[in-house]
Amino acid sequence: MDTTLLQQMLLGALLGISVYLPLRCGQLSLATPGFYAIGGTVAALLSTRIPALGGDGVSYPISSVLLEMALAAMVTGILALGIGKVVLRLRGIYLAISTIALVEILRVVSLNLSFTGGAIGIFGIPQPFASPEGYVGFTSLLLAVVCWLCDRLERTRPGLAMAAIREDELAAASQGINTANTKLLAFVLSALVAGVTGVIAAHFLNSWNARMGNFDASITTLAFVVFGGTRTWLGPVIGGLVLTALPELLRPVGDLRLIVYGLVILMGPVLFPQGVITPERLSRWSRMLRQRLRLEAPTP
């Protein structure tokens, strides 16, 4: 498979997780592209404006990328904390609309600031890896860490509290769950993942501009989760991988990409109300797989 496509798929999986986290507690936030754009801008600015980060000048040091990621996480985390406190008071479609507005505001602001390069953006972002393989390795590692953290989250108290809020917020509060804080936690984690993903994307794409986080991206990333499901982190990962690959594989038919996304958003909830990947389906598949393996194993 084309390594560039593979890299895009990995980035898609990370963004899928970012959209998934608030949705796990029933909060439809479409702010992911906004935080993704901020992460990318942080990386673009630091790596092109601060010569000290460049190291010996041969290839851009990975330690500098890690530093950018830490900074991007800090910026997006603090921003999400402030914004989340306000917008998470809204529910359902109102939250969705206000987060779309947030993404648009960020886009217009970055379009009109001089230090972000305005409409042209920032070019010549240095490369820490000589080949796409390097990016794939690094991003796979990040995805693995994020998946592991999500898995731990889901198997512990805050993860269950999030699911309870999704199912019935009032009943969850009556069990002693601080619902406002729990939703805020999910929102901030979502922003962190998006911000860190933006850092890698900026280096990988070599340039960064205001179009990186827009309404289209909100819908695309939402489709990852609608397709994959909101019940386990594996859903948005599969959704991000598959739906990023699909349009590239369908490239011969051009703009069909948008139609595919439209169909997924339309048909997904009808055919698979909880997404394709649910814990129940996973355990059924693994049972089937185990049976199959047992059948194929040579009898002693």
Partner 1 sequence: MSTPLLAAHNLNRQFGGLMAVNDVSLRVHQGEILGLLGPNGAGKTTLFNLISGVTPVSTGRIEWRGVPITGMASHAVAGLGIARTFQNLRLFPTLSCLDNVMVGLHRHARQKRLAALFQTRPFHQKQAKLHQEALALLELFGIADAAHRPANSLSYGDRRRLEMARALANRPELLLLDEPAAGMNPHEKDQLCELIRQIQAQFQLTVLIIEHHVPLMMQLCDRLVVLNFGKTIAEGPPEQIAKDPAVIEAYLGGAG
| Cα–Cα distance for residue pair 290/125, rounded to 1 Å | 48
Examine residue 184 and tell whether it contacts partner 1 (CB under 8 A): no
Query: Which DSSP symbol is given to 234?
Result: H
Q: Candidates 172, 185, 196, 222: give the one binding partner 1 (CB under 8 A).
A: 172
In whole angstroms, give the CA distance from residue 71 to residue 38. Answer: 11
- Minimum distance from residue 279 beta carbon to partner 1 (Å): 9
Q: Does 176 bind partner 1 (CB under 8 A)?
A: yes
Rounded Cα gap, residues 217 and 49, in angstroms = 27
Q: Does 223 bind partner 1 (CB under 8 A)?
A: no
Looking at beta carbons only, is 175 or 206 nearer to partner 1?
175
Query: Contact 203/47 with Cβ under 8 angstroms?
Result: yes
Q: Which of 62, 171, 266, 267 binds partner 1 (CB under 8 A)?
A: 171
DSSP-derived secondary structure for 141-179: HHHHHHHHHHHHHHTSHHHHHHHHHHH-HHHHHHTT--H
What would the x/- binding string for partner 1 be over residues 241 to 280, using CB under 8 A? Answer: ---------------------------------x------
For the chain, state the CA radius of gyration.
Answer: 20
Is 168 among the residues that bind partner 1 (CB under 8 A)? yes
Enumerate residues 6+ apart whose C-beta is below 8 A from 220.
Answer: 243, 261
Stretch in the footprint of partner 1 (CB under 8 A) among 89-97, 124-132, 149-157, 183-191: 149-157
Closer to partner 1 by Cβ: residue 10 or 88:
88
Q: Give me the residues that bind partner 1 (CB under 8 A), please.
A: 149, 152, 156-157, 160-161, 163-164, 167-168, 170-179, 274
